[in-house]
Structure 1
Amino acid sequence: MPRASRLSPYFVTLALICLPLMVGRVEACMVCIPYPEETATDRLLHAEVVVFARENPDKPFSYSVVEVLKDDVEAPPIDLFLPSTTRKRLALRPGDSVALVFDASKNEWRSAGYATPAYQDIVRKIVKRAPAWNRTARVESRARFFVPYLASEDESIHKLAYLEVGQSSYDTIREADSVVPATQVHRFLGNLKYIEWHALYILLLGVDARPEEEQIIRQAMESRAQLGITLNLSAWATALIEIDGEEAVEWLEQHYLGAADRESDAVVEVVKALSVQGARNRSSLRQRIADSYALLIQTHPSLAGWAARDLASWNDWRFADALAEVRDGDQDLDGATAFSINYYIRRAESRASN
């Protein structure tokens, strides 16, 4: 058994909460969002007061409410500073405003985005849906609402849609391929300003890829393998599996999972791609991806927790012996990895005894 010192109370609590939820859950795509971020939608859904505001004509650089969408509490006066760039933009566009929300728990006003007429329309729809979305917390239905807006040329709307769709399952993300034009996908991927946001569009590139797009994906993966680049690696690997299926899994085994000298951070990015593709509804590759985890467990035992997590979720209990060797070996495991492996082994033993 792993040494007790490896299991911090934090990891034990986290695992106890999360591991039982693995089986049968809808997998969020873990390759799209570069960092955890509260979205403007979150702010709108949780706020007690939502308004549209413009500059106060009697007090420059301050806000004045022009429309109230929600007023569940009596909020204090808006004390936010109106930036000069936003002020100039509003002055040129009389129909625009700024969406502001009041968070009673923090007793503060916050911005929920610059609001063009199109953005205002979305805000009204979000506020209208707030009771249902807050009650059910159905991420997938919420994400599907935003899928059509990925094609928007409005920067605020595009960002809002990206952050929402990017947190959904890969199956939902694939649906966006029918909405976002190929020209927009290529234009966005060609803009290095948003390189950390490329992941979602890399995934879309792989769905129903044309021959020239398949070549782009293969070349991107080859260069990353040669140069050790990890930026957006998981997205490119996901796209590679999308176009080449089992051949892609074999290629990833050769260059990452079975390469003992490959850095763990790069291997993890590839495992994310395998996990996302294996978690798909009715995935025809799940068995092959699960088999590839045997190589991961053998060559990169410190990452065996990733395999244990997915295999438990997929009810694949063939790897208990291999994971037991990792658990009982000399490999130094962190708390989360040790707990994931133990959870898998206990479940596998329970299934075998029944």
Structure 2
Amino acid sequence: MDISFALVAARGPMSAILARLMPMIAAAFLVVQTPAHACVLCLPYPQETNADQVIGSGTAVFAGENPVKPFSYVVQETFKGHYDGSAIPLFLDSMTGRALRLNPTLRVILVQNHPGGIWTGLGLAGSEYQGVMRQLADWYADSKTPAERAIFFAPYLRHEDRRLAELAFLEVGRAPYATLRNLKTNVGRDDIYRIVNDFFHVEWHGLYILMLGTSDRPDDVAFVRAKLKTAAKYRLTTNLAAYATALIEMTGADGVTRLAEEYFVKSGRSNGELLEIVKALSVQGTGGAVELQPSIIDAYGRLLAVHPELAGYVANDLFAWKVTRFVPRLREILNTGIGLDEASRFAVAAYLSRSDEGGSSKGGLAPPDDLR
């Protein structure tokens, strides 16, 4: 998104506010981001994967236990870069050593950032995991988009090697939602339900809930509705965004309307709940069911009417979608400043600065004839 725009002509108190905020507006887009990727729905936190480590390394090897020096490593294969033959100063713990002895096909993945640099152990790898690592050795930083990486790893999501399945989950879980909608995987419906009903894998639920959302089976739709009903009743936020995204995928504009009525209109909802619904709407409107943008924009209008303090969280979408119908409301919210934190003020000011405040619509939001 290009935010290197000029300040509109100075005019009245609104322009005074903008003039004060403009030096910091660009930062707002780094702080108050509405999510376009599935990672915010699937993963509770960003995580560097073993794939990242191998791709970013200078040297990567498969190692086993040194038969003449217990608790130390010996390199058995160099699959990336050049290994100079020097001793690797890492301790091989007894549990890893036992696993290597019990299964001769296992190897430990070790990476070195540059010649003579620090070595890092990435854990055990079975035969197929090793094959995946060899393929990654030919990749380099940014050579694959998140979507391409997700497509590569998707077939391993339910692999019998738990370590490989976990790597696949982390890679697929941070792909754009548009990719997930069309992703063909070997994950069966029974497997999806087994995961989403497993309390001990709650951090995995988001991705599989989104997969379930691509179903049009009545019992699957009923399952998602029931989960959302429970979440609304007990004011739960865990995986709320994922279930909301799935409902919209399954039921379209009706789902958007139901979520807005339940969360944006009814009183007593926490900001945590509201923001989870905003995440779902933003993901669908940006990278999913973009044909639902009019319904999502209407839902945002209901949010702004009741919860002005959350204006900053929808301003970026309104900006990106060239929506100007909320200019008066957002100007009012910014002028009063009620409940807005600094990042939200910046985001709202940035949105307003692209409106036709200065009498010119060049490079700005849609002119009045295109109000939505």
1:68 aligned partner: 78
Q: Return the match for 2:104 from 74, 94, 111.
A: 94
Q: Return the match for 1:238 from 245, 261, 266.
A: 245
Gaps in structure 1 of 5+ consecutive residues: none
Q: Is this contact kept in 1: 2:241–2:280, CA < 8 A?
A: yes
Q: How far off is 1:350 after superposition?
A: 6.3
Amino acid at match of 1:37: Q
1:132-162 per-residue CA deviation (whole Å, 9 max, x = no partner) reads: xx14462222222212222322211111111
Residue 312 of structure 1 pairs with residue 312 of structure 2: no
1:52 aligned partner: 62
1:173-212 per-residue CA deviation (whole Å, 9 max, x = no partner) reads: 1233553211221122232211122100011111124221
Q: Give the TM-score taking structure 1 as reference length.
A: 0.89
Q: How far off is 1:279 after superposition?
A: 1.0
1:40-63 per-residue CA deviation (whole Å, 9 max, x = no partner) reads: 111111111111111111222222
- What's the secondary structure of 2:62's corresponding residue? strand
Q: Give the 5 Å matches for 1:196-235.
A: 196-235=203-242
Residue 326 of structure 1 pairs with residue 333 of structure 2: yes
What is the rounded CA distance, in whole Å, between the counterparts of 2:302 and 2:115 in structure 1?
Answer: 49
2:129 aligned partner: 119
Q: Return the match for 2:197 from 180, 190, 196.
A: 190
What is the rounded CA distance, in whole Å, between the counterparts of 1:186 and 1:81 in structure 2?
Answer: 40
Aligned residues: 345
Q: Note closer, same or farther for the CA distance 1:201–1:41 as it changes in structure 2 (3 Å cut).
A: same
1:79 aligned partner: 89
Residue 292 of structure 1 pairs with residue 302 of structure 2: no
2:10 aligned partner: none
Gaps in structure 2 of 5+ consecutive residues: 1-13, 362-372
What is the rounded CA distance, in whole Å, between the counterparts of 2:115 and 2:266 in structure 1?
Answer: 50
Amino acid at match of 2:60: V
- Computed over aligned residues only, the root mean square deviation of the Cα atoms, in angstroms, reads 2.8
1:249-292 per-residue CA deviation (whole Å, 9 max, x = no partner) reads: 11111111223320001110111011111112662211110111
Amino acid at match of 1:309: N
Q: Note closer, same or farther for the CA distance 1:323–1:156 as it changes in structure 2 (3 Å cut).
A: same
2:28 aligned partner: 15
Q: Is this contact kept in 1: 2:31–2:343, CA < 8 A?
A: no
1:39 aligned partner: 49
What is the rounded CA distance, in whole Å, between the counterparts of 2:208 and 2:261 in structure 1?
Answer: 26
2:346 aligned partner: 339
Q: Is this contact kept in 1: 2:29–2:316, CA < 8 A?
A: no
Amino acid at match of 1:122: V
Q: Return the match for 1:27 from 13, 18, 36.
A: 36
What is the rounded CA distance, in whole Å, between the counterparts of 2:64 and 2:21 in structure 1?
Answer: 53
Q: Note closer, same or farther for the CA distance 1:106–1:57 as it changes in structure 2 (3 Å cut).
A: closer
| Bigger mean CA deviation after superposition, 90-99 or 56-65 | 56-65
Residue 154 of structure 1 pairs with residue 161 of structure 2: yes
What is the rounded CA distance, in whole Å, between the counterparts of 1:295 and 1:87 in structure 2?
Answer: 60
Q: How far off is 1:83 after superposition?
A: 2.8
Residue 139 of structure 1 pairs with residue 146 of structure 2: yes
Q: How far off is 1:230 after superposition?
A: 0.7
Q: Is this contact kept in 2: 1:177–1:207, CA < 8 A?
A: no
What is the rounded CA distance, in whole Å, between the counterparts of 1:154 and 1:67 in structure 2?
Answer: 21
